Amino acid sequence: MLDLFTTDPSPDMRTIFVLSEQDLAAWKAEQPAYRGAWLTNMEFKAAAGEVLLVPDDGGEIVCAVVGRGDGAEPFVAGTAVHKLAEGVWQFDPGLGADDLSRACLAFALHGYRFGRYKEDKAPKAKLFLPEEVSADVAAIADGVFLARDLINTPPNDMGPEDLEASAAKLAAAHGADIHVVHDSALIEKGYTLIYTVGQASDRRPRLIDFSWGWADAPKVTLVGKGVCFDSGGLDLKPSSGMALMKKDMGGAANVLGLASIIMAAKLDVRLRVLVPAVENSVGSNAFRTSDVYTSKKGLTVEIGNTDAEGRLILADALALADEETPDLLIDMATLTGAARSALGPDVPPFYTSDDALAQELAEHAIAAADPVWRMPLVPAYDKWLDSSVANLSSTGSLPMAGSIMAALFLKRFVTETTSYVHFDIYGWANRARPGKPVGGEAQGIRALFRMLDQRYGRRVSG
């Protein structure tokens, strides 16, 4: 349970009211005269994120009001979290179950702070979670916090070995079975691309593989890009391009966050999580542009750019996942700048040939206020991946449609699984918004959890 939440109601619990500009006049009319006068005197307009503590006629704080504004910010209720006095608070029970769950989640998401390296002001208030609120609120918040913490951790403390330790800790917490292939054993088992990308770093590459759930349940496999720092390799990034490369393991962070939610909710699935974890470094033994390597799938790949390394490690992991033909295969990766150029930082594109899956994702993304957007796998562009010396090029022949080209490349390694989706996420909030402080961010995992929950349900016994 998060420190922000409590399930024990307090006799002196105070209430947070979330008001739109249209609701304000009616709410004031229902309150004691002094409350309405206080709001008027303090010029409270119910603008988005506006928070006002309201005293009784003796000066004691008895409630708080939060402005909803025009409703464009779905987690605006959370802006109250750092302005509340110490003690136990609750959101207005009259919000209704769905709005109440959203408000409670907003409280947690906005209250997040990454305090590993310096003290930060933690919220003083605790929020009461009533029974009618979704039991998943705390689990979802925990999963988002895990993803944020992993991304925010700097690369000196979040190398491949640290990512493995985090995955092992999560697996142990839920009784999952974990297996890790290290260093040269990757070559022996055919994961040549994973080894190749990480071979120049003294922080050795590895493939993290853990499983959880019931053998007779539908198979759901998550694959996350775990490039713990990306220098660009020999095609070296400029310093400005490296500034945020601690987040290049954001795909891994997000699938671990999603796995945390799935396991806590006990979804009726056989979950498998694959994380190829590497550091893309520069050295005399670094892989080169124009090198050719044989992948786990048996396809030979010509390297088009050493800074397009994420798709290489994903290719080997996806080939492994594809061998057991899961019912659903999901990969997440901070893969291309082209995705940001197309959709910006807040809306990750996804690619799939499964129209029913795409429709489900779109619907659940709206319901979860977790935006994603389907992009096309353009068949005619597939020829751009042709190579004169190998089965395919890692980057393609034309400097266009970069995110689509990366998705088409990955699709070559998934030949047996019929329901597969690739997410090209940013994994970062570069401006503060309600529920989203600046820093590492979970993207798409709340939408995915809603979809998985509706598809597969919960295991109640066995």
CB 359 within 8 A of CB 350: no
Helix (H, G, I), strand (E, B) or coil at 263: helix
Phi/psi at 371 (nearest 5 deg)?
-65, 135
For the chain, the distance separating the N- and C-terminal CA atoms, rounded to the nearest angstrom, is 25
| From 246, 311, 340, 412, active-site residue | 311
Find the Cα–Cα–Cα–Cα dihedral 234, 341, 328, 205, rounded to 10°: 20
> Measured between alpha carbons, how far is 78 from 100 in angstroms, rounded to an integer?
11
| From 189, 203, 237, 459, active-site residue | 237
- State both tokens at 355: 């129209």
The contacts of residue 127 (CB under 8 Å, 6+ apart) are 4, 5, 6, 81, 88, 89, 90, 91, 104, 107, 108
**If residue 103 lies in a helix (H) or strand (E), which one and from where to where?**
helix 97-111
Is residue 311 annotated as a catalytic residue, yes or no? yes
**Tokens 């220098």 sit at which residue?**
231
> Measured between alpha carbons, how far is 82 from 86 in angstroms, rounded to an integer?
10
- State both tokens at 181: 């292939």
Identify any residues that bridge with 230 across adjacent strands, giving them in sequence order.
280
Active site amino acids: 237, 311
